[in-house]
Structure 1
Amino acid sequence: MISILTSVRSALGRFDCIEFAEELCTAVLLLFLTAFAWCLFVATAAANPTGADVVSGTASISSNGNTLNIVNSNGAIINWGSFSIGAGETTNFLQPSSASSVLNRVVGSNLSEIYGTLSSNGKVFLINPNGVMIGSTGIINTAGFLASTLDVSNADFLANNGSGTMHFTGNGGAGITNYGTIKALGGNVVLMAERVTNAGTISATATASGKGGNVVLGGGTDVYLTTTQNDGAYIRATGKGQIINSGTIDAVSARLQAAGGNEYALAINNTGTIKATGVVRRGGHVYLLSPDSTISNSGSIIAKKVDGSGGKILASGGTALNSGILDASASSGKGGKVTMQGNYVALYDGGSIYVSGPSGGGTVMIGGGAHGADPHVLNSQSTFIGSGSIINADATVRGNGGTVAVWSDGTTRFYGSISAKGAGAGLGGWVETSGHTLVAQGSVATGGGTWLLDPSDVVIGDAYSDSVSYADSTSYDFSTASDTSYISTGSLMAAMADNDVDVTASGSILVDGATASLTGGHTLNLTAQTGGITIQGSDLEGDYSLAAIAGDAVTITGSTINSSGTVRLSGTSVFSDSDLYVSALNLSGASVEVDGQITTTSGALSVTSTGPVLFQGVSATASSSGGTAISIAAGGPVEIDGEIDYTGKASISTTNADVTLNHDVIGDGDLSVSALGSIRVSNVTTSPGSVYLNAGTNVTIAGNVTSVASSAAHDVLNVVAGGDVVINLNKIVDVTGSVTIQAGDRLTIAGSSLIVEDGAPYGWISNLSISSPNGLDVASSSRATHIANNDPLGQVIVNVANGTLSITSSGSLVSGISAAGDLLLNAQQLMVRSGNVGAGGNATVNIAGDVTLTANGSAFPASISSGGLMDITAGGTISMGVWTGVSGDSGVSISSGSGFVWNSNISRWTSVTSSSGAVSVSSGSGFSGTNRLVINAGTNVRLSSGGEIDLANSSNGVSAFTAPTMAVGGESAIYLNATDYAAILPNGSQLLTVQVGDSSSTYGTVPDLSGVSITSTGLTAGDTLAALGIGGLTTTATASSPIGTYGITSNIASGTVIGNYLVYSLDGTLTLSAPLPTPPPVAPAILSTATIEVPRIPFQQEGIPLRLDRTDVGYEVIYANRPGSQEIASVNGNTVKVIYNDFRPAKGTLVGTHWTPSGRAVAKAQTPSVVGTPEHRFVVRNPDADEIVVGQGNYKISHGAVSPATEAEMPKMRMAETPTASVPIALPPFQPHGARGFEDDAQNPAKLVGGWW
């Protein structure tokens, strides 16, 4: 034997077995020697057991040829001198029942060798400290079998009758080897020794009630065995031990448990097949347990439950290795669970794990549970998944993908393939490959699920290579890798095509030199819990989303981020010098800076920062129409140096600093900017959209603002500032809609124009409202400056509560304020220097202090004008210089609290003008001026003064004054030029006002003016109009004039002087109306094959269709005040009467020889059909009758509905069966009552639309 061992070792020496690989070689040698020994011993094997001594219970032993029969009581104990069964021999134990047991203990020194058959209807225990070997011809067929080289006390055995907990101990090194067949029907198979080897077949089936069916191989020198009646068999092995299985184990549940020890580097080594198939209540479990030693499986382990769902496989050892198959997949239902745990765990050399199932994938845990946080799974120090290894947790028919966790507290190397896909409508699964140090170069497919990688610090890129060859699939490596983990770009690209990928690092994440074209539309989540995230020198493009969330800074430099999805960057700070081209972008941090261009194609840019925000340029598109495209909320300053383009709405705010937009802002939605500090914007275009600027201090508009309001309910430009508002840099604010500007201090519009267009074609009114408490400066520099509202229906309102409203022109550039509609100015002071203040409507100017108008020559006057009424009120002095003027087309009222002063000369006049209204100038303390003051009035001129009217030179013209004193001298004059006659009369003349009255006449007749009155005011005593020749009247209207209004004119025109009277004549009005037509004779309505459409007829019966089908009887149906809608399925009868008291919609068919619906409407006809449509419209058809009389008494058709009227009879109608033409009833002609047929010029049928007749 020694020489054989030496020769075999020499033959195998070239394999260089080291460490536990050497132990593996030793195990192979032992198996070889055992087989060789069996070959030597088989010929000399002993016969049936001999030397029996019954020490407990009863046993009757008899022989019959090669058969030994033992009839024993339950719990019998027999000591044997030897216990072996030769080939061709049989030993039978006949026991009271299958629950009975017999303990056989060998007290001799020989090995138990079984080459024959051992059978029993009960449980057989065989204890032999010398060892037990079942040869290849050996067969054991019992209701339960236990073989052990460890002894158990008689008391333990008797106390539990082969069940419960028993303690087995022994010091020998003998083992148990099976090359034959062991069967336990309805019981368990237990083999316990320091070494247990199975190269044969072991099977254990359960009873119908689920008892038995367990196979337990226990390797150790101190073992506790626990068996239960219903559950299974369990052991706790200590000392040292080893289990090797190269055969087949088939059971309800299989457990291989070895204590291990230094002598046995491979404490459990399975190269065979282990199959566990469960029963109704339990089973389908395989356990390989060796807490401190190595477990190796290179064979097949299969675990399934009785219903076809996946079972449970647990391989737990000091080291757990699998290069074979661990199969807990399902043929029906969901996949099972496979757990490999130990200090070191490896799946290598093509080793595979399957937990797939038709209705859902199962669970795989290698080296730890999810996140390493499962208290029921031991975390490994190192985990290895080789390149040829496969883990499959798919749903195969319909269901969710499974869960796979690969973990270590130290180094995890992942080169293999993991699949956890859903099927049908199922969701993708969840996969984790994590470790303090992680090397991930494998592939993961979840079908839309998630792949989680959770290292400490990690690098994603192309340049890293691990010490283990990616292609090496036949070995494993548990060495510690560098502190930095690595994920290859190739693995990332492949995974992103099928999964969301989560990289969560406890430290930092670096994406370095990664060039990836990503597909699948999935999300890459980068989370650095305490460190930062840096993306450098990388090109990430394609259909994906990115979330980078860091405990420190997020930095993107020298890279391209081009994503069709959403990108979120969040950290203590966010910095990028690279362009970001994404679907949507979310940035958050204590500071956010992007020096590249930001572009979002179909989603919003959302920025949240507790500190500053700095961008170069932004282009954003909202995800939905009218949605938010840009949202920036900062605690520090916001500065955007590049252009901002957006589609949607934009909101930019800071709670503690300034907002500066140094370049163009172009959008098609609202722009809202708010700051606790100042706001500065350049060119802004929103169309349609409003601009809202709200600052705690100053607002500066340093460029063009072009805007169109999105609706009448919103200002198109709304500026609110706690300090100054400045609009400058030669730009134009040109908006369509209303504008509100509210300054906390002063408003300066310098070299700019604020132009408000009207709301056409949108249909709303545009208003301009300006509030600047401490001053408003409208000044031209390099270009003219204007504040204008071009909407004739809108208003311009300017309030300067405490300061001066100053309008100043420079050189040839004229500044001003204008309103196409009304103008309201409120200020402390008003200064117009070569500028214009004008209104298309009424103008109201309220000035608490002085009003000053000065001009820079005739080409650059200073003026205040109005297309309507002009009202100027000043608490101080009103001063007007040369080439200045005040005008109001409908009238002028000027009121000064302290004085009215003008300064002009012969050629440079000062003017006050009203083209069609009165002029009133009043002064609290007097009039004074030099040279000409020209007042042009359409009607009256009134000058009043609380002081003197002082003309420094001379007075020319005709005027009337009321004043305490008047001084006239020199060449000065007050000129009064009037187009009306209420104020300027020849000397001694009396104004006579003649008013012509109104009248009316009928179209087609000659107007009769005989009854028109003439009244007058201004006649002196004794004078009459007739005596003055006033009384003749004329009109331009004739008998053929169209209907309308015409003037009635007196025979004495305005301006005529008759005696001492100056005549002022006012015309009257003649209204020409159409005559009433004569109604034709009344006749019944004749409808030949006609259709009448009636919108609603109120038959009532909620929920149940009415069906009355007998035609030989009459019906009367009454519906009164019932809610809802009635459906009439079919009503047929000789006479049908439907009575209803409420107006409700109905639908259906009503047919009868005679029918009468009564209530609000009554109709009677021969053989009608009432057909309802889905809109509850009824069509009355009578294709065969020559005449239908609709309505008995006073009824009409009004807008297509039947309702009472005052006419005596229904009108006559001639219509086709299916009317096609539609001719509205219009005026003229108008048919107020009577009967009339309707048809077009070609006698085609006409359908009535509207009106009544």
Structure 2
Amino acid sequence: MPQTPCCSRLAFHWLCPILSGAIAVVLPVAAWGQIVPDTTLSGESSVVLPGGSIEGGAVRGSNLFHSFETFSIGAGQQVYFANPAGIENILGRVTGNRLSQIDGTLGVVGSANLFLLNPNGFALGPNAQLDLRGSFTASTANSLTFADGSFWRVSDLQPASLLSLSVPLGVQVGDRPQGNLSNQGSLSLGPGQSLTFLGNSVTHTGAIAASGGTIRLLGDRVSLLDQASLDVSSPNGGGTVLVGGDYQGRATVPVAQVTTVGPDTTIRADALSSGNGGEIIVWAAETANIHGILTARGGAIAGNGGLIETSGRQTLNLTATVEAGAPGGVGNVGGLWLIDPENVFITASGGGPIGSSDVDVAEINNALNSGTSVTITTDSVGTGLIFQASDAAILKTAGGAATLTLATDGSIFLEAGIITSGALTVVLQGNSIDVLNSISSANIQMQANFINIGSSLSSSGGNVSLQGGDISIGTGDPGLVSASALTVNANRLSIFNDSFLFGIDSLSITADVIQSVDATPGSSAFTSDNINADIIAGGTFSLTANEIRNFLTEQPGDFSTLRGNISNDISPFIGSSESPSGSEAPSSIARSILSSSSELIEFEDDEFEDDEFEDDEFEDEFVSFSDRRSEALASFNLTDCRQSNFTLSGRGGLPTSPDDLLSNSAPAIPWVNYSAESGTAEVLPPTAAVNLTEARGWTTDAAGNVFFEADAAATATPAFAFASGLCGGQNRPN
């Protein structure tokens, strides 16, 4: 790049004049007539020297202003702006009515940034090149905005308009661009520099490179066609590419209405050696057609993947191959691919509704298998749809750990399922979630007001978390939900159709109302009608609810079981449900047997029909206890000395403990009217004192009579204190 505007460094050096005395050589008008200064800057007008060097202009602080009637560079020509000391930004405008055609070399003799404004448009031909150390901006807008909010307008022809423009140039753009801008050339900038094209329509079919820098293609319509390329890769980290807008359409830059990235194009923001991948944003407010190859990889030695966003707010046609992985090995994290139109249809063949946003599932699978996380979210408040077609299964079979996130304010429908043999976390967030096919993943998280599981959810060695208002499992085919740690948190939990919940290490269920609950070994289960549904926890099981409701069964022997190390917080425990005849009956818990130990909690139908009891008829409630401590002491087996057994059977609305609250429903035991009777009190003489011995235990006979047992010879140390000490308690002095 030339450091001085010497004619010998220019293509047409043979036209340089030889000045001697009063002799002056005038260049033909055809040679440099394509760059013609205007007179709007008065005595500070631009000067175009023979050979294409541009000097003069109006200096304001660190900014140098030029104004031209026409500005074009022919094929083979070179034009360089002089860069006086202290100048950081060179700004040129075209006040005439002609398009700027650049098919030669445009440069700056120095490191200043170059800005060109021409509302008529720019056309950079196949021979166009840039020779710059700083950044370059070409805009067809009528003005540029400075950091202090002031403007430099093409239409303002008064020299006084420059007097206040002494602050550094801001990145904002003024009014909407008018003309079009196209580039066919191969343009490159220095490391870390930026290139911005802003026009009404921006079409790029050439190549642009800015190592570790920034490329912005902005306008109402932006297109990358043919074999166009944008590259901001560098050895130490990728740069930034904005095509049609910024992240999620934010108003930091003008937003395109229509953006197209052709199938043979490439956009790269890779870290080539060490460092993180860069950022690629392809955006449109209306329609985005995005194909080609987009990469933001981490460094081959070390570094994380970058961010790639491909979005059309209203309509998205997406078949691009996207990769933001981290090939550097252990400790490096894959990047993120974000897709966020208003609605999304995940398809195998672009078969979504006309005008919909279609995402090719093959490209989602490719990204996940490269270790790239994928986030699909809908850019709509209170609505939005994410729909997976029945032939568009999401598969992860290779690559590093990744996360698949589907998030919307509306609905998520998954018809084809998500299957992985690799490290994948699935996150689903929405107002409603319907899972109609299997999901298997390392970890699964769901959060919605309504969750319907019509198939299976399984996590091998990971966690499954379901959080929602109403959660229904087994609404279609029988559902299986299994994980190492399974957590369910809901206002209402319903389980149907032989469905099965299994927590290998732990299972926690928290709900205001639990409907039709069954359980099998190690956990809990809920039943509906004549159908059993199972929940299993191989380790710890926690159940917290205000109310448990079993739908009434008509088949004797229907049952539910809870197994595991069980912690219950159920207050009140009694609920109610409708009988087949429509009348409200006491909770099926009152028609069941509840036994609690480290081994088993079981709910079982007592085989009584609902119509066997009238409103004033209730079965007596029986309570029995098994003291595991006494049994352990008697057998000298202290393994289970901390465990106990509790059994409740029959009906009744009273709580099983004085510390428990009553149900908000009416008590099952009716009120009794007491009529006072008169009588005479009899005074009894005192009896001799009886030496009381504390009972060591109790037994029952076949008739249900309770007998308390005690040692014949009382000791100073009560049996309960001795037992407590052996079972891990502390002996306390009497």
Cα pair 2:73 2:79 within 8 Å, conserved: no
Matched, 1:285 2:136: yes
Cα pair 2:114 2:135 within 8 Å, conserved: no
Cα pair 2:501 2:535 within 8 Å, conserved: no
Deviation of residue 248 (structure 1)?
A: 2.3
| Cα distance, 1:455–1:46 mapped onto 2, change above 3 Å | closer
CA distance in 2: counterparts of 1:510 and 1:570, whole angstroms: 17
TM-superposition CA deviations, 1:648-675 (whole Å, max 9, x none): xx8x99xxxx9x9955665443433343
Residue 339 (structure 2) aligned to one of 453, 458, 470 = 453
Matched, 1:673 2:543: yes
Cα pair 1:589 1:610 within 8 Å, conserved: yes
Residue 419 (structure 1) aligned to one of 295, 305, 327 = 295
Cα pair 1:746 1:772 within 8 Å, conserved: no
Deviation of residue 496 (structure 1)?
A: 1.5
Matched, 1:547 2:406: no
Cα pair 1:317 1:341 within 8 Å, conserved: yes
The residue matched to 2:275 in structure 1 has which SS?
coil
The residue matched to 1:636 in structure 2 has which SS?
strand
CA distance in 2: counterparts of 1:194 and 1:203, whole angstroms: 14
Alignment partner, residue 168 of structure 2: none
Q: CA RMSD in A?
A: 4.5
| Cα distance, 1:422–1:485 mapped onto 2, change above 3 Å | same
Opposite residue 285 of structure 1, the aligned amino acid is F
User: Structure 1: which 5+ runs fail to align?
Assistant: 1-41, 50-58, 70-82, 86-111, 115-130, 134-146, 164-175, 213-227, 330-334, 467-480, 710-715, 720-725, 731-744, 777-802, 804-820, 826-830, 844-866, 872-1253
Alignment partner, residue 312 of structure 1: 194
Deviation of residue 585 (structure 1)?
A: 2.2
The residue matched to 2:284 in structure 1 has which SS?
coil
Cα pair 2:273 2:302 within 8 Å, conserved: no
Deviation of residue 247 (structure 1)?
A: 1.8
Matched, 1:561 2:433: no
Opposite residue 350 of structure 2, the aligned amino acid is Y
Alignment partner, residue 581 of structure 2: none
Cα pair 1:618 1:645 within 8 Å, conserved: no
Residue 638 (structure 1) aligned to one of 481, 499, 515 = 515
Cα pair 2:71 2:94 within 8 Å, conserved: no
Alignment partner, residue 122 of structure 2: 267
Cα pair 1:328 1:355 within 8 Å, conserved: yes
| Cα distance, 1:568–1:636 mapped onto 2, change above 3 Å | same
TM-superposition CA deviations, 1:504-556 (whole Å, max 9, x none): 11221111121232233322111122x211112456444322222113x2112
Opposite residue 568 of structure 1, the aligned amino acid is Q
Cα pair 1:665 1:683 within 8 Å, conserved: no
Alignment partner, residue 202 of structure 1: 78
Q: How many residues are treated as equivalent by the alignment?
A: 557
Alignment partner, residue 1009 of structure 1: none
1:779-818 matched pairs, under 5 angstroms: none
1:1136-1175 matched pairs, under 5 angstroms: none
Opposite residue 218 of structure 2, the aligned amino acid is Q
The residue matched to 1:503 in structure 2 has which SS?
strand
TM-superposition CA deviations, 1:278-311 (whole Å, max 9, x none): 2xxxx2435354521211111111111xxxx321
Alignment partner, residue 259 of structure 2: 383
CA distance in 1: counterparts of 2:489 and 2:531, whole angstroms: 17
Opposite residue 370 of structure 1, the aligned amino acid is Y
Residue 359 (structure 1) aligned to one of 233, 236, 244 = 236
The residue matched to 1:198 in structure 2 has which SS?
coil
Cα pair 1:679 1:700 within 8 Å, conserved: no
Residue 52 (structure 2) aligned to one of 166, 177, 182 = 182
Residue 758 (structure 1) aligned to one of 632, 635, 640 = 632
Deviation of residue 427 (structure 1)?
A: 1.9
Deviation of residue 340 (structure 1)?
A: 0.4
Give the TM-score of the pair, scaled to structure 1: 0.40
Cα pair 2:492 2:514 within 8 Å, conserved: yes
TM-superposition CA deviations, 1:762-814 (whole Å, max 9, x none): 556357587999999xxxxxxxxxxxxxxxxxxxxxxxxxx9xxxxxxxxxxx
The residue matched to 1:692 in structure 2 has which SS?
strand
The residue matched to 1:572 in structure 2 has which SS?
strand
Cα pair 1:589 1:608 within 8 Å, conserved: yes
Deviation of residue 822 (structure 1)?
A: 1.3
1:878-897 matched pairs, under 5 angstroms: none
Deviation of residue 617 (structure 1)?
A: 3.0
Matched, 1:296 2:182: yes
The residue matched to 1:493 in structure 2 has which SS?
helix
The residue matched to 1:371 in structure 2 has which SS?
helix
Opposite residue 407 of structure 2, the aligned amino acid is T
CA distance in 2: counterparts of 1:465 and 1:320, whole angstroms: 30
Opposite residue 321 of structure 1, the aligned amino acid is T
Cα pair 2:394 2:416 within 8 Å, conserved: no
Opposite residue 403 of structure 2, the aligned amino acid is T
Cα pair 1:258 1:268 within 8 Å, conserved: no
Residue 370 (structure 1) aligned to one of 243, 247, 266 = 247
User: Structure 2: which 5+ runs fail to align?
Assistant: 1-11, 58-63, 142-176, 326-333, 551-557, 575-588, 608-618, 653-671, 673-694, 716-734
Alignment partner, residue 528 of structure 1: 408
Cα pair 2:593 2:648 within 8 Å, conserved: no
Opposite residue 500 of structure 1, the aligned amino acid is S
Cα pair 2:511 2:546 within 8 Å, conserved: no
Matched, 1:410 2:286: yes
Cα pair 1:242 1:258 within 8 Å, conserved: no
Alignment partner, residue 87 of structure 2: 230
Cα pair 1:451 1:502 within 8 Å, conserved: yes
CA distance in 1: counterparts of 2:53 and 2:93, whole angstroms: 23
| Cα distance, 1:590–1:683 mapped onto 2, change above 3 Å | closer
1:15-26 matched pairs, under 5 angstroms: none
Opposite residue 630 of structure 1, the aligned amino acid is L
Higher mean C-alpha displacement, 612-621 vs 184-193: 184-193
| Cα distance, 1:666–1:343 mapped onto 2, change above 3 Å | closer
Alignment partner, residue 203 of structure 2: 321
1:416-565 matched pairs, under 5 angstroms: 416-423=292-299, 424-436=301-313, 437-447=315-325, 448-464=334-350, 482-497=354-369, 498-505=371-378, 506=380, 507-513=384-390, 514-519=392-397, 520=399, 521-529=401-409, 531-538=410-417, 540-543=419-422, 544-551=424-431, 553-557=432-436, 559-563=437-441, 565=442
Higher mean C-alpha displacement, 611-620 vs 409-418: 611-620
Deviation of residue 605 (structure 1)?
A: 2.3
Deviation of residue 487 (structure 1)?
A: 0.2
1:341-352 matched pairs, under 5 angstroms: 341-352=218-229
Deviation of residue 421 (structure 1)?
A: 1.3
Deviation of residue 588 (structure 1)?
A: 2.6
Deviation of residue 868 (structure 1)?
A: 4.3
CA distance in 2: counterparts of 1:671 and 1:747, whole angstroms: 27
Alignment partner, residue 591 of structure 1: 470
The residue matched to 2:179 in structure 1 has which SS?
strand
| Cα distance, 1:644–1:294 mapped onto 2, change above 3 Å | farther
Residue 38 (structure 2) aligned to one of 151, 162, 168 = 151
CA distance in 2: counterparts of 1:341 and 1:464, whole angstroms: 27
The residue matched to 2:455 in structure 1 has which SS?
coil
CA distance in 1: counterparts of 2:651 and 2:415, whole angstroms: 54
Opposite residue 136 of structure 2, the aligned amino acid is H
| Cα distance, 1:492–1:598 mapped onto 2, change above 3 Å | same
Alignment partner, residue 607 of structure 1: 488
TM-superposition CA deviations, 1:75-122 (whole Å, max 9, x none): xxxxxxxx325xxxxxxxxxxxxxxxxxxxxxxxxxx144xxxxxxxx
Cα pair 2:503 2:539 within 8 Å, conserved: no
| Cα distance, 1:302–1:666 mapped onto 2, change above 3 Å | closer
Cα pair 1:253 1:285 within 8 Å, conserved: no
The residue matched to 1:394 in structure 2 has which SS?
coil
Q: Percent identity between the aligned chains?
A: 22
The residue matched to 2:516 in structure 1 has which SS?
strand
CA distance in 1: counterparts of 2:222 and 2:512, whole angstroms: 51
CA distance in 2: counterparts of 1:707 and 1:47, whole angstroms: 103
| Cα distance, 1:277–1:162 mapped onto 2, change above 3 Å | closer
Cα pair 2:196 2:215 within 8 Å, conserved: yes
